[in-house]
Amino acid sequence: MSNETLKIIPLGGLGEFGMNCMAIQWKDDIVVIDAGLMFPEDDLLGVDIVVPDITYLLENREKVRGILLTHGHEDHIGGLPRILSQLNVPVYGTEFTLTLLEGKLEEHKLLDDADMIEMLPGESFSLGVFKISPIRVTHSLVDCVALAIRTPVGTIVHTGDFKIDLASPDGKPFDLHSFAELGKEGVLLLLQDSTNCDRTGYTPGELAVKPRLDEIFARTEKRLFFSCFSSSIHRIKLAMDLAHKHGRKVALIGRSMDNASEIAMDLGYINPPQGLIVHSGAIKDLPPEKVCVMISGTQGEPMSALSRAAVDNHKHARIEAGDTVLFSSRVIPGNEKAIYNVIDHLYRRKAKVIHDDGKSGLIHVSGHASQEELRLMINLLRPKFFVPVHGDYRHLTQHIEVATGTGIPGKCVLLEDGEVLELTATSAEKTGKVNSGRILIDSGSTSDVVEDIIIRDRRHLSEAGLVLAIITIDKMSGKLAGPPEIVTRGFAVNEEGMIKDARRIIGQTLEQSSSEEKRDWMLIKEKVRADLKRYIQKNTQRRPMIMPVILEI
């Protein structure tokens, strides 16, 4: 690699959704844009999160000047606890983004040593040779920015996640003017969000959902359970406003919903009227038509508040016949089965379920720009060179077709993780690769890292062994058809006593499960696994792989 060129080095997010991380280097100065995580596919057994391999940054740690965060979604900040434990450099973000990050770092005992610096849209600052200018953009989260980075060879613009919303509910619209000014100055390279590049037209603004949601609030006769992404602060605020308008009290249920709402209220993004929000324990004392429950679990996560409420296993959220459950969210690919399992349980409770029903009016809008907005940005900035970011290979390819259709970028380059793009004022060429890839993290711990699922399984089995719980259940009654069979391999700590206790625990788990839960084998297996794991860790300090198997007869 030449020392007289600007290097663009994606370490994650180009070739997959999530794990966004990009290094920009000029000689001895490196800045990093975002440090996200990715949630694992089903085949990555035992893996909780996936983060980018930052070997290149560690090899050049003395050159890294800081990490710049575009916004606070997990796929942009979720990898920071691990990265900062290895590479403690200053982190720059907006107020809301840094507040979200504080909780993560505190959980990992990294907050005291972290150097977090707030950046404000419109106020530039320098990091090494780079001059950074944050620019206000709109997205499904609040306080999001794009980054204009002035370098020795020209200006780079990284859009972050964005859509063009000129009527943002927080009164902070997309800053078209600043992008137009950058276009007049001249832009060398545009790095643009590819998420919705396959969608024609424009993405509706956040307020586009208000008419349909208002209608749902007006027509709902009993309790309304309102579920959306906990990071959708605009949606939460709108739901609270509509609840107040229609005379309903609001209860917040679910840790993520509670935390995000608390941060948004502390920072002034949500200002509920006095007395609007009630404790979840008060739900049962209020008339059903006076209640709106904001509840987390839109993606059918097995232990989320909504999933538990759907099988009548939540302390406060009791869904009864005639209640309405609204999913104001999209179905993330891969989550379809889990979501429809929850919806099935809701129908069994005789609840009215509203999801993406195709009726007139919107109940959810995307936070990402569609084709016409992407073209508008390219026309405003008029970059010499173009690189699509944030997406699978097919999205990156389609995005280049969209950009090429504008006739503006002199050259479009499709980059993947680890590839190096070298820029001068007049050229852009791929010149090689650096170490990149993914790090698999187990049990949410930054120390329990596995290089590959096969290696992870071998190590797990060799160190802790395997516990296989074979449970035979009578299909008609839902009861045990006989004692569970416990098979262990490589697990030799008081096996006889442990097996006896394991059988007892499985029996207790099934006895304490409702008939509805027993019809959902995925949920039962997760409950059995969690109970056995808790018992074995407490009594043996060992962490075997636990695999429940349910046989119906």
Tens digits of per-residue pLDDT, 290-333?
Answer: 999 999 999 888 889 999 999 999 999 999 999 999 999 988 77
Other CB atoms within 10 A of residue 150 CB = 18
Q: Are residues 176 and 64 in the same domain?
A: yes
Report residue 523 as tokens: 């949920």
Predicted local distance difference test score (pLDDT) of residue 446: 47
Per-residue pLDDT tens for 396-415? 999 999 999 999 999 999 99
Q: Are residues 221 and 284 in the same domain?
A: yes
> Which residue numbers are catalytic?
193, 368
- Long-range contacts of 504-511, Cβ-Cβ distance < 8 Å, separation of 24 or more: 505/531, 505/532, 505/535, 506/469, 506/471, 506/531, 506/532, 507/480, 510/471, 510/473, 510/479, 510/480
User: CA–CA separation, 222 vs 225, rounded Å?
Assistant: 10
pLDDT tops 60 at residue 140: yes
Q: Are residues 379 and 300 in the same domain?
A: no
Instruction: For residue 379, give its domain range.
Output: 6-201+366-436
Least confident of 111-115, 367-371, 398-402, 466-470: 466-470
Q: Is residue 360 part of a domain?
A: no
Q: Are residues 55 and 88 in the same domain?
A: yes
Tally of domains in the chain: 3
Beta bridge partners of 488: 467
Look at residues 71, 86, 85 and name the one whose alpha carbon lies nearest to residue 36. Answer: 71
Q: Are residues 223 and 138 in the same domain?
A: no
Q: Could you tell me which residues are annotated as the binding site for Zn(2+)?
A: 71, 73, 75-76, 139, 161, 390
Give the DSSP letter of residue 351: -
Q: Judge contact between 40 and 62, C-beta under 8 A.
A: no
Q: Judge contact between 137 and 148, C-beta under 8 A.
A: no
Q: Is residue 448 part of a domain?
A: no
Phi-psi sector, 169: left (phi>0), alpha (psi -120 to 50), beta: alpha
Q: Is residue 441 part of a domain?
A: no
Locus of tokens 């959708």:
232
pLDDT tops 60 at residue 495: no
User: CA–CA separation, 186 vs 4, rounded Å?
Assistant: 21
Q: What is the mean pLDDT of residues 500-510?
A: 83
Higher pLDDT, 541 or 370: 370
Predicted local distance difference test score (pLDDT) of residue 451: 58
Q: Is residue 444 part of a domain?
A: no
Phi-psi sector, 339: left (phi>0), alpha (psi -120 to 50), beta: alpha
Mean pLDDT of the chain: 90
User: CA–CA separation, 193 vs 157, rounded Å?
Assistant: 11
CATH number assigned to the domain comprising residue 532:
3.10.20.580
pTM: 0.81
Q: Are residues 431 and 524 in the same domain?
A: no
Q: Are residues 235 and 187 in the same domain?
A: no
Q: Is residue 310 part of a domain?
A: yes
